[in-house]
Every structure is written in structure tokens, then in C-alpha cells.
Amino acid sequence: MNDKNPSGASYPELLTVSPSPHIRHSDTTRSVMTDVIIALVPALIWGVICFGPRAALVVILSVASCVLAEYVFEKITHRKVTIGDCSAAVTGLLLGLSLSSSVPYYMPVVGGVFAIVVAKQLFGGIGKNFMNPALAARVFLFAWPSEMNKFVKPFSRLSLFASGADVDTVATATPLVSLKTGALPDVSMTELILGEVGGCIGEVSVVLLLLGAAYLLCRRVISWHIPVSYIGVVALLTVLFPRNADTGSFVLSQLFSGGLVIGAFFMATDYSTSPITNKGKLIFGALCGALTVLIRYFGGYPEGVSFAILIANSLVYYIDRVTLPRVFGKGGAANG
């Protein structure tokens, strides 16, 4: 703020006239993104402990290709380079965490470039993309469905140069494959919650993901609306329509398997691809939950979180339209 007006005379600050916003907050894109990274680190560390150095390399490749793709694209198109705000790094981290540790190394690279260039920058860059870039890239990577659906046993550490044949010897069915057929997974509930199961690098440890989510909630980076309505609707639908006689175990297994926790807390809550109002967020979360259960029950793939969130992403515009708050002093019941 200037304490001198253009003519040079000095006035007290009381008379400053400026356009809004008047109240500034210390949050920046960078601080928000750094919080998200901090919240994901425990799950990442667990993924590396569980799946070995290959998991670390997959995540590093994914992050590096996202950041590099953002830098190169913005240089080529003469836009402001935004790699400093860490958003590309978060996209890369989320993408890497949602891949299996056994994927060939070109997949995180192709995915990273797709996430940044196609899903984010072609729509105008940060804040203008209508789909979560990490999830869009993950779904694009189903171009290689057999690699995407191959998961290795926990603690069967693949070497960095493991071939496809090596992967096959340690491949395992994820809990979701059992759940698809209505059977309970062959792991105990403790193993499921701690993350001693086959799955994507970052999705297995429910406890550590919840720890990260608690951090984000405390820091008010995310609000409770989307995760609670998302997970709540999944719980409700699986309680109402269980596929196993042991309803309690079945419902808990559904909640703690696959990408539901990381999806609900870290992906569905992405600012640019979720509704603005709290009512909208609740509707959005419920939609994600219903779609996830539908795909898990009737879809072609065992997991439905990525597809569900992307479909809900594409409806955010309509949810925002429906939940638009009434402008003060306009419309209302009295005016009919």
C-alpha cells in the first residue's frame, strides 16, 4: 500500500481506497502444495519400504517427468513458468503413488507428460483443468491394461532392473479382486489397514494416509465435506447391498482396500476439479461414492475410484450451477 498519494502529499492510511480483496491470507499455491507433499510423504515412505527401491524410482520418474513437462511446455508456449508452485510435483507424486511398483519405467514418464500437457496445460494450466491431471494420466495409462493390473506381493522387493518375467513370479491378487467376486480378501484386517497387501505404491497404507489427511484437515488445506460424503456413501451402499454374509468385514474391507482413502482425501479434494460450495462438495463426494461402488460391483475393472472421480470431475460445472448461492438481496421466495 502506498502511504503517499500520487501528488506526493502524505495522508494517513485511513483514506486508502483500493479494490478488493482487502484481507490477505498467507496461503499461496506453493504453501498448499507443500502441505500436500508433506501429508503424502509417510505413505510414500511406507510404499518404498513395502515394495522396494523400484517403487521409489517409479515415483521419482513420475515427479521428474511432470515437472520437466511443465517447464518445457511453458517455455515453448512462452507462458510464465510455474514449476515453482509445486503443483506439477504434487501431480507427479499422486500419479507415481497410484501406480504399481512393477510398471515398466516408460509408463510413469508417459503418464507424467500426459498429465501435465494434455490434462492440465492444454486446458490453460493450473486452476483451469477440469479433470484431476494425475487421475486422467492414470486412466490414460490403462492403454497398457495388463501392466496396470499387475501388483506384486508386499516385501517381495523387485530389483531395479526386474523384467516382466520377474514380476510374474511375485504377482499377487489385490484385495479388490477377491471383493469383486464377493469373497473376503485373504489378508487380516490389520494387514489391510497397515498396508501389508498388494496394490499401488501409495494406496496401501490406510493408517499413514489417514495421518496425512488429518494433517491436511488441521492445516485447513482440505475440508471434511468431500471425503466424508465420499467414504460415507461407499459405506452406506456396501452396508445396504453386501456381497458377503459377513457384512461387517466386507464393508470394512471395501473401505480399506484399493485407492478409496487416497482418492477421497487427496484426489477428489483437488481445488480446481471440485465444487466450490460446501453443499456442492457433499453432492460431489456422494456422486464419487456411488460411482465407485457401482464400478467395483458391476464394472470391468476391480477398482473404480479413478474412474468415479474423473466422471464426477466432469460434472462439477453442473454441480456448481445447481448449488450457486443466492445473491444477497436478489430473488428468493417473496419475489417468486
Partner 1 sequence: MKKNGFLASLKNGVFDNNPTLVQLLGMCPTLAVTTSLTNAVGMGAAATAVLICSNMIISLCRKFIPRQVRIAAYIVIISGFVTAVELLMKAFFFDLYGALGLFIPLIVVNCIILARAEAFASKNPVLPSIFDGLSMGLGFTFALCLIAFFRELLGAGTLFGFPVLGSWYNPAIIFILPSGAFLTLGFIIAGVQKIRNTRQEKARSAQNDREEETA
Q: Which residues bind partner 1 (CB under 8 A)?
A: 104, 140, 142-145, 147
Q: Is the Cβ of residue 146 or residue 335 nearer to partner 1 in the bound state?
A: 146
Q: Is the Cβ of residue 143 or residue 218 nearer to partner 1 in the bound state?
A: 143
Residue 226: all three cell numbers together: 468431500
CA 90 – CA 157 distance, rounded (Å):
25
Q: Is the Cβ of residue 35 or residue 147 nearer to partner 1 in the bound state?
A: 147
Say whether 171 sits in a helix, a strand or coil.
Answer: strand
Cα dihedral angle (254, 320, 115, 179), rounded to 10 degrees?
10
Quote the least distance from Cβ 52 to partner 1, whole Å.
23
Torsion 208-214-220-222 (CA) sign: positive
Q: Is the Cβ of residue 142 or residue 271 nearer to partner 1 in the bound state?
A: 142
> Count of residues for the chain?
336
For the beta carbon of residue 262, count every other beta carbon within 10 angstroms: 25
Q: Is the Cβ of residue 147 or residue 303 nearer to partner 1 in the bound state?
A: 147
Residue 178: all three cell numbers together: 477377491
Quote the least distance from Cβ 139 to partner 1, whole Å.
9
Quote the least distance from Cβ 143 to partner 1, whole Å.
3
Quote the least distance from Cβ 164 to partner 1, whole Å.
10
Q: Is the Cβ of residue 141 or residue 251 nearer to partner 1 in the bound state?
A: 141
Beta strands in the chain (DSSP E): 151-152, 171-172
Give how far the C-alpha of residue 250 lies from the chain's centroid of Cα atoms, to the nearest Å. Answer: 24
Q: Could you tell me which residues come within 8 angstroms of residue 46 by beta carbon, excluding any fewer than 6 positions away?
A: 195, 204, 205, 208
Quote the least distance from Cβ 147 to partner 1, whole Å.
8
Quote the least distance from Cβ 118 to partner 1, whole Å.
8
Q: What is the CA radius of gyration of the chain?
A: 22
Quote the least distance from Cβ 335 to partner 1, whole Å.
43
CA 80 – CA 186 distance, rounded (Å):
51
One-letter identity of residue 317? Y
CA 244 – CA 121 distance, rounded (Å):
45
Quote the least distance from Cβ 76 to partner 1, whole Å.
13
Q: Is the Cβ of residue 136 or residue 237 nearer to partner 1 in the bound state?
A: 136
Place of cell 487416497: 262
Region for residue 2 given its phi and psi (left: phi exceeds 0; alpha: psi -120 to 50; beta: otherwise): beta
CB 329 within 8 A of CB 281: no
CB 119 within 8 A of CB 95: no
Quote the least distance from Cβ 290 to partner 1, whole Å.
22
Q: Is the Cβ of residue 85 or residue 147 nearer to partner 1 in the bound state?
A: 147
Q: Is the Cβ of residue 28 or residue 314 nearer to partner 1 in the bound state?
A: 314
